[in-house]
């Protein structure tokens, strides 16, 4: 008995249509599952980001509270204060499973670029010069250091009088592309790259040299340096007679808890018995208190993380002003 070809063809067609329908449904189902997974993942990420943002803000408030508490306790700042080192275990308990790291930096321990705009601060310029010529940075010699200091002074001062090796508006307008000379206080340290003679190698460093970025600040212009929080290169630059070993010993002395109360006076270095008596750091450019502080709070959980960075102005009357805050 022969099979009706029409019937056979219809059966095959039905099978093909069935397979196509199943394939289509499988594809739609898979796409739906992928979409749902993506939505669930996005929802989870969004939830965690909101949680992390809250923790970063909590870190900011903890830092502000620590700075206020320290100011109420005494009128000087050092790296032995509560704001300088937060207990990781206590922070972890408060954060409820979120890894929260808080770092507060006293910007008074850095060199102020805006103080270079005052030609009367020759002693401060000399500190900068020794700092630049310390051998840590990609600066070839005294002539280059002098040119950089002239250019920095012209960048932040408010006049159009060009210093010997500096640069004012005509120089920057002749560049490609042209731009204006600031002729006002620098807003952020990264602005250094716009100044004549400054290179990424000097600012950020390379394999052989450090960068100057971590040692300077655009906050403040009085030239005061907190020797209780200044880094090794800045400390050593305070006097031509301070050797690397002497600066290291100064840091060891101020890091001793037993010496904390001694750090309330700018001449505490004279109590370090091995320091030669002839060394006089002076008092006109030294301070033992901070005014501007950088606050960094990083919150992380699983593969997610958020970082907040800001600058705080702490006045003598204990009022605080958050000058900037951004979440990265």
Which pLDDT value is given to residue 4? 55
Q: Is the per-residue pLDDT at 166 higher than 60?
A: yes
Best CA proximity match to 227, nearest among 246, 203, 204, 205 = 246
Residue 98 pLDDT class (50, 70, 90 cuts) = confident
Say what percent of the chain tops pLDDT 90: 70
Which pLDDT value is given to residue 1? 47
Greater pLDDT, 69 or 23: 69
Which pLDDT value is given to residue 145? 97
Q: Which 3 state secondary structure label does DSSP give 138? A: coil
Q: Is the per-residue pLDDT at 56 higher than 50?
A: yes
Please state, in angstroms and rounded to a whole number, the distance separating the CA atoms of residues 248 and 256: 13
Q: Is the per-residue pLDDT at 88 higher than 80?
A: no
CA 124 to mean position of chain CA atoms: 23
Beta strands (DSSP E) in 190-264 are 216-217, 225-226
Residue 45 pLDDT class (50, 70, 90 cuts) = low
Best CA proximity match to 308, nearest among 328, 322, 294 = 328
Give residues with Cβ within 8 angstroms of 277, minimum separation 6: 270
Domains and CATH numbers, the chain: 114-217 (1.10.40.60)
Rounded to the nearest integer, the mean pLDDT of the chain is 89
Please state, in angstroms and rounded to a whole number, the distance separating the CA atoms of residues 291 and 113: 16
Task: Quote the pTM value.
Answer: 0.84
CA distance to 61, 129, 225, 312, per residue, from 240 (Å): 41, 10, 16, 33
Beta strands (DSSP E) in 272-315 are 286-287, 292-301, 304-314
Which pLDDT value is given to residue 51? 81
Phi and psi at 34, nearest 5°, equal: -60, -45
Give residues with Cβ within 8 angstroms of 295, minimum separation 6: 59, 60, 63, 64, 102, 103, 104, 105, 308, 309, 310, 311, 312
């Amino acid at each position: 008995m022969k099979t009706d070809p029409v019937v056979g063809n219809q059966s095959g067609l039905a099978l093909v249509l069935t397979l196509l329908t199943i394939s289509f449904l499988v594809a739609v189902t898979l796409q739906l599952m992928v979409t749902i997974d993506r939505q669930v993942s996005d929802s989870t990420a969004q939830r965690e980001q909101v949680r992390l943002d809250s923790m970063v803000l909590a870190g900011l408030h903890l830092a502000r509270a620590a700075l206020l508490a320290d100011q109420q306790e005494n009128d000087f700042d050092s790296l032995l204060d509560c704001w300088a080192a937060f207990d990781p275990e206590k922070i972890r308990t408060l954060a409820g499973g979120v890894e929260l790291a808080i770092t507060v930096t006293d910007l008074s321990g850095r060199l102020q670029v805006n103080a270079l705009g005052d030609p009367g601060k020759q002693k401060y310029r000399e500190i900068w010069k020794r700092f630049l010529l310390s051998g840590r940075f990609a600066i070839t010699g005294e002539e280059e250091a002098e040119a950089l200091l002239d250019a920095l002074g012209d960048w932040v001062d408010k006049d159009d009088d060009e210093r010997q090796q500096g640069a004012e508006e005509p120089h920057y307008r002749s560049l490609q592309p042209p731009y204006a000379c600031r002729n006002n206080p620098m807003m952020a340290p990264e602005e250094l790259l716009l100044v004549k003679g400054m290179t990424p190698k000097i600012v950020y460093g390379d394999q052989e040299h450090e960068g100057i970025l971590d040692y300077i600040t655009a906050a403040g212009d009085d030239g005061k340096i907190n020797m209780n929080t200044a880094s090794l290169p800045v400390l050593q630059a305070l006097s031509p007679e301070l050797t690397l070993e002497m600066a290291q010993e100064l840091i060891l002395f101020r890091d001793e808890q037993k010496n904390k109360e001694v750090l309330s006076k700018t001449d505490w270095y004279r109590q370090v018995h091995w320091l030669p008596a002839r060394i006089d750091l002076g008092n006109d450019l030294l301070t033992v208190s901070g005014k501007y502080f950088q606050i960094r709070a990083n919150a992380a959980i699983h593969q997610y993380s958020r970082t907040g960075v800001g600058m705080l102005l702490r006045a003598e009357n204990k009022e605080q002003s958050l000058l900037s805050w951004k979440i990265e």
